[in-house]
Amino acid sequence: MPYLLTKLSGSVDHFIFKSFYIFVLSFFSNTFSAISGGGAGLLQLPALILSGVPYYQALASHKLATVALGIGGSLRNYKSLGNDISVAWQILIFGLPGVVLGTSIVEYISEKYLYLILGIISILLAFYSFLKPDLGLSSGNNKLNLIHKIRFFIFIFFIGILNGSISSGTGLLVTILLVKTFEMDFLRAISMTFFTVGIFWNFVGAIFLVRIGSVPLNLLIVLLIGSFTGGYIGAHLSKLNGNILIKKTFITVCIFVGISLLIKSIKSFL
């Protein structure tokens, strides 16, 4: 009996420590993600994998958790969506098929090549944003011609494929695409990313990924709480401090996401 009690006590202590560890990482990664417009997977997804959750289940859990991030961020910045509903529809109509395709092929493609490509893109985005001092600091309403619309639809579709297959960093790609294409400021673009990618893309992606394996419910609850609170507080901080803080955080997160993905790619090649 004492042996059983000792073992049970150890299991409870391990569960509490693991839950606290997941919550803290989820909260801080989603807080920074809410400020930068993406990058929650930089800490959250590896933390789940290191906790012993298989990759596909970890990816599904991460996607469900980032739905809570999207809801938290959207609740704080919902007014920023006011005049951009048509853009939201475009992202959903052309991006969701890409997400579904990405979740369908994730079992059959090598992650190392996707990590390599997305890592390089993330680092290039950071340097591009750094070298463009005025990028994303003011908001405009760029009207697109047919060629620009088609190019935007193609980019959104391919980012959707990446979102469905590896997830990490795709919110950053959508954010900078909105800034560059529609001349949005960062706050406006991030609000759109939360609403479309954070809520709808990730929910659909999670539903398709859950078919591969069940999601651990105990960790999922902790993730949802950490993601929602981190998303709300991060969105609040970004609104208080404006586009300069958002841009600096965006550049920083892009660099760390890029380096993280490159390291994953290099390790998988060895």
C-alpha–C-alpha distance, residues 171 and 169, integer Å: 6
Q: Which residues contact 228 (CB under 8 A, 6 or more apart)?
A: 68, 69, 71, 72
- Region of 138 please: left (phi>0), alpha (psi -120 to 50) or beta: beta
The Cβ of residue 43 has, within 10 Å, a number of other Cβ atoms equal to 19
Radius of gyration of the chain (CA): 19
pLDDT value of residue 232: 84
CB 205 within 8 A of CB 63: yes
CB 26 within 8 A of CB 242: no
Domain range for 153: 2-269
Q: Which residues contact 60 (CB under 8 A, 6 or more apart)?
A: 205, 206, 209, 210, 212, 213, 215
Structural domains of the chain, count: 1
C-alpha–C-alpha distance, residues 172 and 63, integer Å: 15
Q: Where are the alpha helices (DSSP H) in the chain?
A: 2-36, 44-50, 55-77, 85-105, 111-131, 146-165, 170-182, 186-193, 202-210, 217-269
* Residue matched to tokens 């920083």: 252
Q: Which of 235, 264, 254, 227 is nearest to 24 (CA)?
A: 227
pLDDT value of residue 8: 41
CB 91 within 8 A of CB 202: no
- State if pTM tops 0.95: no
| pLDDT tens-place values along the chain, 270 residues long | 544 434 444 455 566 777 787 888 888 888 877 777 776 776 677 777 767 777 677 777 888 888 888 888 777 666 667 678 889 999 999 999 999 898 887 667 666 777 777 788 888 888 888 888 777 777 777 778 889 899 999 999 999 988 887 766 788 889 889 988 988 888 888 888 888 988 899 888 888 777 666 666 777 888 888 888 888 888 878 777 777 777 888 788 778 878 887 887 788 777
